[in-house]
Structure 1
Amino acid sequence: MTDTAPTDHGTPDPETLRERALTHLVTARDRTTLLTSCVEGPDLTGQVSPLMSPLVWDLAHIGNQEEQWLLRAVGGQEAIRPEIDSLYDAFEHPRSARPTLPLLSPEEARRYAADVRGRALGVLEAAAFQGTRLTEAGFAFGMIAQHEQQHDETMLITHQLRKGPQALTAPDPEPVPLFTGPSEVLVPGGPFTMGTSDEPWALDNERPAHRREVAPFWLDTTPVTNGAYLAFIEDGGYDDPRWWTPEGWEHVRRQGLRAPLFWRRDGGQWLRRRFGVTEAVPREEPVLHVCWYEADAYARWAGRRLPTETEWEKAARWDPAGERTMRYPWGDADPGPEHANLGQRHLRPAPAGSYPAGESPLGVRQLIGDVWEWTSSDFTPYPGFRAFPYKEYSEVFFGPEYKVLRGGSFAVGTVACRGTFRNWDYPIRRQIFSGFRTARSEGGA
């Protein structure tokens, strides 16, 4: 058996790169504008949770990162407002402390971000896309577009956490027939290429491409649904220490967890709050807002386990017919609306079994989009990892404190989601748009 990386079509020509960068920068800014213009007053300048920044901090931080990397590092320009660099340094000020800082007002933040963007587009127009690793293939522009989309997802989490009436709207995903395919698929064992060395805008923790061996295993065809998770709840899953790690059981007891975040029982019905609207929990959707401990406990209860990060990536990228590793489950083409639920096009996951055009060659669905999927793996570097362009993006987070999530959610921009993209968080986090699917080894759990 052989395995090759995705076909290398060569670096696109400068005008194609310029257009691609422009498209993603504009898409991200349109979304930022929506997220910061649909509320005002304390909802914009205050803090809805110590886990989150005020929305106005995110807005100015987005502008400041763009200034530092596109205007100063790539464009060689003088700083516009060097005195605010420390205010918007994510590592200097924890989120809980940011409301106490002398932040720019909403009007100042908007003017600043717009000024930076106007100048950045000038840098883009003159860019040669060669000479340094930062400019090669437009990496810096891709990095900034991804950074803004990641903060857009963070701001969408803030909107979900805020109390009060609905501020955002979006159409629901198209209804689909109830999925009646197999509940699991067999992922064959053998080697494959994990990570990437030739994806131009891939971030440092996705690199380099390297060989991995995987034993055969079974994987859920779709993410675990609300209906399936309800069975775990109704079977006393939150009251039985057999299903929990010692740390997970302690966390559940200490926090009094009884169900996913934003759920509540009303008589005989389970309800959830979603972006200011209370609704019945839809049984056919992937479960959302569960922490790693909950995902792991459900898997144990079901006689299964969470997949490793390596297993997840093989299921998402392996093409057995071509014996090669692809960029996405459906192939090498960029995501389209037919492939996955991405980019805040909807404000909820699509029903399990949606997007047959995004199915992997092995028959697995919704590996990209809808919900971030917890894996069993700690966040660690790949062999040969090199931090770039700064250690604080990935390197400082490596270690057993963080678990890896894969696949992206409905809140992830297409530029910040691919088969190699790695997300990570503490195993207690539930405000993120996280779900999971389960696996079992070929001979058992």
Structure 2
Amino acid sequence: MTYLDERSEPSSASELLDLFYATRTQTEKLTAPLNDEDLGLQSMEDASPPKWHLAHTTWFFEEFILKPFLPGYQPKDNRFAVLFNSYYVQAGPRHTRSRRGLLSRPTVTEVLSYRAHVEDALRDGLSRGGFTLDPDRLDALVTLGCHHEMQHQELLITDLLHALSFNPLLPAYIPSQPGAVTAIREQDWTLHAGGLVEIGHDGDGFAYDCEGPRHKVWLEPYKLADRLVTNGDWIAFMNDGGYETQTLWLMEGWAVREKNGWDSPLYWWQQDGQWWTYTLQGPRPVDLSAPVVHVSFYEADAFARWSGRRLPTEAEWEAAAEATEIEGNFLENGTHIPQGRHASLWGDVWQWTSSAFSPYPGFSPPDGAIGEYNGKFMVNQMVLRGGSCATPKLQMRSSYRTFFYPQQRWQMLGLRLAADQ
């Protein structure tokens, strides 16, 4: 099902509460290492403070479930609706995104109290059957709220990484963990026959609206690299003038590279002839065998051109991944660093595709403010697949599409090569 479709067998109240509390607990686990000053950091307009993520994910449950469907519910503070709405125009006015880091009030304590208030109300409503909507729709909305919060778990730690990177002390969010020595593996290829394939969500289980409808796509025979592009591969690209060779770059990408002075992935610097990178475990030497991360679509496309290959389409990636096990390095592993230890299409870094984020044939967004979740962003962005070391594994399915602007780098973004057979 997509997130507002009806289920033939809705989850029980206890199952929904289990999902809800597991999700909320994971968020609080991610913020446990942070102090109040950390929780208020906002380093750019694209990112938000951890405190805001805590409050916004709470507002989502309040705005779309408790306020309209739980008689007698009283908000903790009506002003929070303005402070913690993100981009839902139909839900009312919103605080300016670039100024979220200026919200010293409400305090962290007050935000946590707000979370507890909403959790208590949702638990009470589910336990006593107090909601005024049918069970399948309630199931869909609570499940959507949980998956929405999982997306913000990923944003929370990648936004935090960006903010902490400006501190000259280069602090560690979590203690440094010694990395296992991984042999540098030569790249090989998996062959795929192509033909007429179906992609998109098949209606079984949760999915976002943009993952459907399922539809047919024709693919010519193709091959995918059996591993992600590594830091060692990327250094070879850099050493061969990849950042200085204009003919490798899309015109717009070259303009962005020049404007920003890019000469390496985000968070990299060179010290005594050694490349270093800043991570959520603090600074560390670049691991040549690990997947490269924090590169934009423009950089990924230039690398593919330099290598004589290309980026896969999202249909090629999905057709290859659909029958594979979802195994890899995800958020639950707790390292928050790409490792490259799994020979898998999944995890470590999101993989840029050559596909623009656009609606599938027959797509129509749900009615109301919920319909603003994905549909309004279907322009000027590129699709990525496969999840990352910051993505909850529970979110992963072969039809899952995430999307970012081609110049963005602060997320866990990498690439896998493709080629025609």
Distance in 2 between residues matched to 1:433 and 1:211, nearest whole Å: 30
1:225 counterpart residue number: 230
CA 1:375/1:45 → structure 2, altered by over 3 Å: closer, same or farther? same
Q: CA RMSD in A?
A: 2.5
1:217 Cα offset (Å):
0.6
Does structure 2 conserve the Cα–Cα contact (< 8 Å) formed by 1:87 and 1:103? no
1:102 Cα offset (Å):
6.9
1:238 Cα offset (Å):
0.2
Amino acid in the other structure paired with 1:296: D
Distance in 2 between residues matched to 1:194 and 1:343, nearest whole Å: 26
CA 1:93/1:220 → structure 2, altered by over 3 Å: closer, same or farther? farther
1:184 Cα offset (Å):
1.2
1:130 Cα offset (Å):
8.4
Does structure 1 conserve the Cα–Cα contact (< 8 Å) formed by 2:50 and 2:160? no
1:438 Cα offset (Å):
1.1
Structure 1: stretches of 5+ with no match in the other structure: 1-9, 320-328, 356-364
Report the identity percentage: 31
Measured against aligned partners, the alpha-carbon deviations of 1:373-418 in whole angstroms (never above 9, x if no partner) come to 111111101111121362321111012x111111111111123221
CA 1:340/1:126 → structure 2, altered by over 3 Å: closer, same or farther? farther
Listed as ranges, the matches of 1:35-114 within 5 Å are 35-80=30-75, 81-91=77-87, 92-101=94-103, 103-114=105-116
CA 1:211/1:172 → structure 2, altered by over 3 Å: closer, same or farther? farther
TM-score, length of structure 2 as denominator length = 0.88
Amino acid in the other structure paired with 1:226: N
TM-score, length of structure 1 as denominator length = 0.83
2:124 counterpart residue number: 122
2:372 counterpart residue number: 392
Distance in 2 between residues matched to 1:66 and 1:195, nearest whole Å: 27
1:134 counterpart residue number: 137
Equivalent residue for 2:330, pick from 327, 342, 353 = 342
1:315 Cα offset (Å):
1.3
1:85 Cα offset (Å):
0.9
Does structure 2 conserve the Cα–Cα contact (< 8 Å) formed by 1:56 and 1:109? yes
Amino acid in the other structure paired with 1:235: D
CA 1:37/1:14 → structure 2, altered by over 3 Å: closer, same or farther? closer
CA 1:388/1:102 → structure 2, altered by over 3 Å: closer, same or farther? farther
Distance in 2 between residues matched to 1:229 and 1:425, nearest whole Å: 21
CA 1:61/1:106 → structure 2, altered by over 3 Å: closer, same or farther? same
Asked if 1:294 is matched to 2:273, the reply is: no
Listed as ranges, the matches of 1:184-199 within 5 Å are 184-199=189-204
1:160 counterpart residue number: 161
Amino acid in the other structure paired with 1:397: F
Measured against aligned partners, the alpha-carbon deviations of 1:105-131 in whole angstroms (never above 9, x if no partner) come to 100000010111122123333569983
Distance in 2 between residues matched to 1:174 and 1:133, nearest whole Å: 46
SS of structure 2 residue aligned to 1:239 = coil
Measured against aligned partners, the alpha-carbon deviations of 1:248-268 in whole angstroms (never above 9, x if no partner) come to 111111110010000011132
Distance in 1 between residues matched to 2:134 and 2:17, nearest whole Å: 20
- Which region of structure 1 is more displaced relative to structure 2, 42-51 or 230-239? 42-51
Distance in 2 between residues matched to 1:52 and 1:212, nearest whole Å: 35
SS of structure 1 residue aligned to 2:331 = coil
1:31 counterpart residue number: 26
- Which region of structure 1 is more displaced relative to structure 2, 428-437 or 410-419? 410-419
